[in-house]
Chains A and B, each alone.
Chain A
Amino acid sequence: MSNGNVDLNLIVDVPADQVEQTKQDFESEGYSVVVKQQGSGLFSVAAAK
């Protein structure tokens, strides 16, 4: 994370029933995950490390 080497990834339009598994997949790769609901009802899953 230092020196600007922030590894950020974002998946948009994630269906509700896939959010948890997507989150777990990111976490298993060592990412911190943030999930937010979009206006459409779908979700965005962001991962950073």
Chain B
Amino acid sequence: MRRFIQSLSLLSLGLLLAACGGANQASIYRNYSIESSGDTAESVLIDAKQRAILSAPVSHVRFPAGQEERQRKVIVCAEPSPDALSAISSTFSASASGIFGSGDQVQAALSSALSETASQLGQRNATIQLLRDGLYRQCEAYMNGLIGQDYYEQIANKYTNAMVTLLAVEELTAQGAKSQTASAKTALSSSTDTEVSTPVATEAAESEAAEPAEGSQEAEGQQASGSASGSATAAPPVINVNLPEGGATVEPHVSTAVNTMVTWFLTKDTVDYCLRGLFAGTENKDPAFRAAFIGVCTEVIQDQMAQQGQMASAYETAAANTGTYGFDDCSASIRSFWKPDGTNINAANVERLQGEMRTQGVSGPVTMLIRTQERAGERRKVGAALGLAGCI
């Protein structure tokens, strides 16, 4: 029994050492302050498991005149998170090896193997790559003074268009493109349903934001969960908004703005976030803060709507211009007319071709006309009108 306990103790010690050693070797965690340190920029070292968070004073960044004191003193650029998971697997085998007494043998061998593998967390597509790295590099350029605040904002805004195009193309051309197209149409329908834009309601919210009511009475216990009275003209979607615990007390102009947001909003998280900010403002009884927050929330929601509207437009166009490959004799005739040498477009003929397409009410590129089954009827009409063989 004593030998068994000795062996067990040795085994336990080995397990403990292996576990501690493995954790220390594989885990890298560093704290550091991102507070401004005068004119000295700070940085951190990185390896495959660490991401850089860079901070630097912004004295070289141009701020609007007179607002210098209101701006942050430090720019922080956080490197995108890694897309590879550092997986630590520690294998441990133990056996006791030793000689205790006459002939009794207990083998004890301790071995610890630490292996580190990397596995991909998710699919990294071009859109993700563009957003991750591109925005980070822009932040670096801004930090380094290569671009100013205005230009940084312009570039950031342009990412929306690039993202819409890339994402739509990627989704529509993924494996099993037909099912992806169906998904795109679903997304279009969903987005359209959420477009309950009410300019009147927005103006009301902006008016509230600009002119916070003075001495307005508080509506006791009014739950601003979409049922609060307001000037929104569209029926608010059914949403369960998380309000702070213990109920909520809101002033009429706040409830009106909240109702407007509930009517306008696209994601529940956005409304939750704005509500929390509103109630935080209610607590400190600062009407200017509340008014500002309402304005910010409204802008956020409008931005979301604009972006989703762009996406919906892209999907709508893509869905309308999707076809299954089909190339027949009429296709060959039109293509020969369009590109007589097989490569270059004939300027005179393309003018006639596109003119006839307009006459026939056919839109889209010539390629879709001649290479899709769905356009076979239109193809024959256009080709016949041009007197092309194979189309008559």
Contact = CB atoms under 8 A, between A and B. Distances in A.
Contact of B365 (A1, A29, A37, A38): A29
B314 A9 contact: no
A10 B176 contact: no
A9 B325 contact: no
B324 A11 contact: yes
Given A29-B365, A47-B365, A9 B339 contact: no
A10 B178 CA distance: 10
Q: Classify the interface of chain B: helix, strand, loop or mixed.
A: helix
Contact of A26 (B313, B327, B367): B367
Nearest to A36: B173
Contacts of A36: 173-175, 177
B323 A25 contact: no
Interface string B157-196: 0000100110011101111111001000000000000000
Interface in A5-49: 5-15, 18, 22, 24-26, 28-29, 31, 34-39, 42, 44-48
A1 B174 contact: no
B302 interface: no
A6 B228 CA distance: 39
B325 A15 contact: yes
A46 B173 contact: yes
A44 B313 contact: no
A8 B177 contact: no
Interface string B329-357: 00000010001000111000000000000
Given A8-B318, A25-B366, A29-B365, A13 B165 contact: no
Interface of B: 161, 164-165, 168-170, 172-178, 181, 309-310, 312-314, 317-318, 321-325, 327, 335, 339, 343-345, 364-368, 370-372
Interface of A: 1-15, 18, 22, 24-26, 28-29, 31, 34-39, 42, 44-48
